[in-house]
Structure formats: C-alpha cells, structure tokens
Amino acid sequence: MDGMLKLFVSACILMSMLLTSSAQSCSRYAFSSNRVFSSCNDLPYLNSFLHWNFNSSSSGVQIAYRHTGVTSSMWVAWAINLDSTGMVGSQALVAYRNPDGTIKAYTSSVDSYQTALSESNLSFPVSDLSATYSNSEMIIYATLELPHNSTTVNQVWQHGPLSATTNTPGVHAFSGPNVQSMGTLDLLSGRSATAPVGNSRTRNRNIHGVLNAVSWGILMPIGAIIARYMRVFKSADPAWFYLHVTCQSSAYIIGVAGWATGIKLGSESSGVQYTAHRAIGIVLFCLGTLQVFALLLRPKKDHKYRFYWDIYHHSVGYTVIILSIINIYKGFDILDPEKKWKRAYTGILVALALSAVFLEAFTWYIVLKRKKSARSGKINGANGVNGHGAETPGTA
C-alpha cells in the first residue's frame, strides 16, 4: 500500500508539472480579445512570451508581448534593435500601470544604459499601440512597419521598478536574467535564439571579477601571511622573501589586468555608475603600484631609514588587503552571481584567517621560547664566570 501511495503521489506531482508547463506555453495561450497570432515564442528569461503575425510583402508585423509576474509598481518593455544587439539603440514599446488604474503604453528610443525610458518616436512607424494588465500579467499590443527585408531582428525585453515619487520607469537590474534577456528573432520561420550567456560584456564582467578576486583578494593575503610568519623560521630565510615577492608581484600583475578590464567595462557602459567600487579600485591600483616602486627603494636592514620603510610597507600592504576584500564583496553585489561563488570566496577568507590566527600563536610561542633560551644562556654564562658550575648552554 505504501508503494502504491508513493506512486500515486508522484504521478499527481508529474501531472501538475505538465499542466503548469502547458499553461505557460505561448502556443496554448488564448487572448481574451479573441486576437489570433500565427507565431509565438516562449522567451527564456523574465517570464515573457512574444506572439506575432508577419506580412513579408509589407514588412509589417503585429505583435503581442506578454510579461507575467508583474506588479503594479513595475514597468515592462519589449524592443527591436535594428543596428546591433543589446539595449542601447533599441526601439522600445513600454507599458506600466498608473496609480488610477489606467495603463500607459508608449514608445521610447533607448540611447544609453541609464535611460529613463522617456517617451519618444521610434525609427520606424508604430500603430495600434495599447496594453492591458490583469492577473499580474502585462500585455503590449502594437503594429510595426519595419524596413524592407527586415525578416531577422535583434530583440530585447526587460522589466524594472517604477519610481515611488514620479511613477516613471526606474533603472532595471544589471545582473542575472536582466542582462540575458536579448536575442535574435526570425519573423518568417518563427525561430528565435537568445544571446549566449557568455556574450562579450557578461564575459568581461566575469573575467574582471575572477581576476580581481584571485589577485587582490587571495594572492595578496597569502603573500602577507608568508612574509609575517615564515620569516620566524630560520630555515626559511631567505626563501620566505622570494616567495613573498613572487606572490605579491603575481597578485599585482593579475590585479592590474583585472583593473584594466574594469576600466574598459566602465567606458562601454555609459550612464552606469558604481562610484564606490570604481573609486576603491583606483585607490588599490595606486597603492599597489606604490608598493612595487617602494620595493625597488627598499633600504638594507642596517640602514637608518629601514625602520620607517617597514612601517610604510606594512601599513600600505594591510590597507590594500582590507580595501581589496571590501571591494570584492561590492563586486559580488554588482555581478550578483550564484551564491556558491560568494560562499566559496568567504570560505577561502575564513581558511586564511584561521591559518593566520594559528600561525600568530605558534610563531609567538617560538619567539618567546627563543627569548627565554637566550636569557637562560646569559644567566648560565654569568654563573659560570662567577664559578658556580653553570650547565652547558642549551641543556637546561
């Protein structure tokens, strides 16, 4: 009986999943206005669907863009980009719900990532523009007159928050599905393809994050741990110094590559500002470069300025590490990757911190033991000189 009951429950769950999947399929959707569209696509991101009729002789296309899971404090948009992929340069249809319950639908030509989606004409004629909102679903209807031979177009779809004060579109998120919701659409065949997750901008953002996390966030702390604790062991001298220099130099070179990638991303993202992240990154680059040049001016151990150089070197080094960790977590918030990456980096930091705590205690033990042995040696030596029969040094 237990086996039969489990089988029945599993069958019910499977049937529910199939029904839900069917309900979400664009081909099974019936419009309340009795409109009929010959082609449709289930768009892969942001709970969106596109329906259309295409007249190849006139290059006219009737569209219905559906976006589910929409609240009254959100805007939605669907756009065609005739010149390139992505958001900038796209010709958008925008809709949102007004506080009085009416639906505003209009066109907007997007010219930057920081667009306010202001109302403007598109590069091609648009007619019969309207929108409906019910059951958390926004539908935009329109007829577009595309340039001739425009059978395959780049499409972008998006959602974002409405301003609480002005009830106008605010900036959408720049991570996750919000930067993946684009692709190509073949109006004749009905086939569509999304832009690969690894498109150049997303790939560069990931490269920027990985380079900086590995360099400033992992190699730099490891280099500091080597310098602070390995030098205590006499057998590790001068190996610890060369390991320290190698680790920090590698971190700097990789970090500069990550920093340069970030500068390039900023120049390609007009209007997108991450002021604190950018400012900390510039400060880190300057301090890191200063450390490299300071290494070339490192005084010898017996030089009168070596004491001051050590103070400078240690203070700047620890400042770089602290700022690096802060900025890496700011980067996680911006990129918004899967949580496992942030957890993995946090785990590495915890492991390094625990290692530092253990080594701090162990090296202090060694240093104190050496001092105690040195004091015992002096006392024993003094007793021997005074004729008290001191023990052989090191045997006490």
Q: Quick one: 193 exposed, middle or buried, by C-beta within 10 A (0-12, 13-18, 19+)?
A: exposed
313 is in an annotated binding site: yes
For residue 298, what are the CA distances in angstroms to 242, 285, 315?
14, 20, 15
Supply 31's token pair. Answer: 């419009």
| Residue whose C-alpha is closest to residue 144's, from 120, 121, 128 | 128
303 is in an annotated binding site: no
DSSP letters spanning 7-68? HHHHHHHHHHHHHHHHHH-GGG---TT----SEEEEETTTTEEEEEEEETTTTEEEEEEEEE
208 is in an annotated binding site: yes
- 3 state DSSP class of 209: helix
CA 312, CA 315: separation in Å to the nearest integer?
A: 5
- 3 state DSSP class of 163: coil
Phi, psi of 193 (to 5 degrees): -140, 135
- 3 state DSSP class of 125: coil
Rg (CA), the chain: 32
277 is in an annotated binding site: yes
Feature table: binding site for heme b: 208, 244, 277, 313
Feature table: binding site: 208, 244, 277, 313
